[in-house]
Structure 1
Amino acid sequence: MNELTRRHFVGATAGLATAVAMASSLGAVPAQAADRSTAWTGRDSANGWEIPGEARNFRIEGSNQSVRLATGDAATILLYVARRFHYEIGRLRDGDVRGHRTSRRVRERHESNYLSGTAIEIRPQAYPLGVRGGLYPMELIVVRDILAELDGAVAWGGDFRAPKESHFEIALGPGHPKVKDAARKINGWNTGPGGQGAGATDAFDPGRQARARSFAHRNAALTA
């Protein structure tokens, strides 16, 4: 352990000890005080998809993992996002991916999209709600490439006012042309001869990076 690391460890330990001592002197904080969630009461999730939508378990190609999603275009698109994460950012392990759920407790509006099976969390413990900057620059390049490739059909929680970098959702309502186009394109890659789609892309190609930057700037302008 070098001197800088040692100082950081000692400082962090001292800070933790102080926090524990203060908590002991003040008494435990009631669990409900820390719970900022509310019950989602809408028939549809925030992105306009019906609750409860049909959800079934899908295997994430190339991995040993699976996730529950709404069938149809939503599953096609979100499984593609998960595959690219697995191939290009990090191997998906048990507990890394979560999709459809039935509990209506949400902390932010976008979490209601799990109820309709039109959103996924990838490594939610590593990239929790409210924390920004969890991805390395090379990983962020891949995420930006995915978003640009799907042309607005998917939104990433890292761009939200209340960030959640583990979160990817269908950004538009069912039947929207961009959703249908993205699903059609992915299905074409899945049934084609190969050489396109997840496992065959190069997010670091200069042309793709330029397109991703342009898309990110346009998207930021639209949501500002």
Structure 2
Amino acid sequence: MREFIDRRRVLATGAGLGAATALAPILSGTAQAEDSGPSRVWNGTRSANGWPVLDNGENFTIEGSGLSVRLAAGSVAVILLHVARRFHYEINQLREGDVRGHIRSRNILQRYESNHLSGTAVAIRPDAFPAGVKGGLYPYELVVVRDILTELDGVVAWGGDFATPKESHFEIAYRPEHPKVKGVARKIQGWDSGPGGEGAGATDAFDPRRQARARDFVRRTG
């Protein structure tokens, strides 16, 4: 059975990791030039990351939370649900209204927010971590975020690394045809169908080997 990480142990560990978690930004496969400013209307048939805009997303349950979110079906849903589950298990329990997926309104503030129109982005606690604000996560929470990005091999980009940051924002970083998208989704499905020793709720982001991999990932991609 999956268990929540002991937050007291995590806080104690995170206090000693401040320098280690000040990691350079990761450049995703669709690094974007984010624009700040007034609201704009997104008129394209595809979102900024190249995925088709959807009339409606499909409704999916976020394991362990009792909440649901609308996303693009298939590999996208597998990947972004994994992100939300790990946030729920390892950072903060999700509550009603904490997760936003597909949207229909084309009025957006940042270019990367258009990815919600294609169901290829989630915003986790967007009211707590709005666009333009950086430094909202504690050091131990950043350890978990970096671990998630590393194990997903850059297929997910984090808004905290964008020019106009939004630490609640996670998106698919590659276009639909990129083989990494399906490959990472298959990896997650393998964890989910395995004996329970891997994946969301069963991962220790503070294992020294995982932290070393996260630091190496940032050096290679940052």
The verdict on a shared fold, with TM-score over 0.5 as the criterion, is yes
> Gaps (5+ residues) in structure 2?
1-36
Among 157, 160, 172, the alignment partner of 2:159 is: 157
Aligned twin of 1:15: none
4+ residue runs of structure 1 moved beyond 3 angstroms? Answer: none
Superposition deviation, residue 54 in structure 1: 5.3
Determine which structure has the larger helix proportion and give its number: 1
| Structure 1 stretch displaced more, 211-220 or 129-138 | 211-220
1:151 match: secondary structure: coil
Q: Distance in 2 between the 1:81 and 1:67 partners?
A: 12
RMSD: 1.1
Aligned twin of 2:104: 102
Aligned twin of 1:86: 88
> Gaps (5+ residues) in structure 1?
1-34
Contact in 2 for aligned 1:145/1:209 (Cα 8 Å): yes
Contact in 2 for aligned 1:53/1:70 (Cα 8 Å): no
Aligned twin of 1:60: 62
Aligned twin of 1:51: 53
Contact in 2 for aligned 1:53/1:117 (Cα 8 Å): no
Aligned twin of 2:120: 118
Superposition deviation, residue 53 in structure 1: 6.2
2:203 match: secondary structure: coil
Among 140, 144, 147, the alignment partner of 2:146 is: 144
State the TM-score, normalizing by the size of structure 2. Answer: 0.82
| Structure 1 stretch displaced more, 143-152 or 209-218 | 209-218
Superposition deviation, residue 218 in structure 1: 2.3
What count of residue pairs does the alignment treat as equivalent?
186
Aligned twin of 1:175: 177
Q: Which structure would you say has the larger Rg?
A: 1
1:190 match: secondary structure: helix
State the TM-score, normalizing by the size of structure 1. Answer: 0.81
C-alpha offsets along residues 67-107 of structure 1, whole Å, 9 cap, x if unaligned? 00000000000000000000000000000000000001111
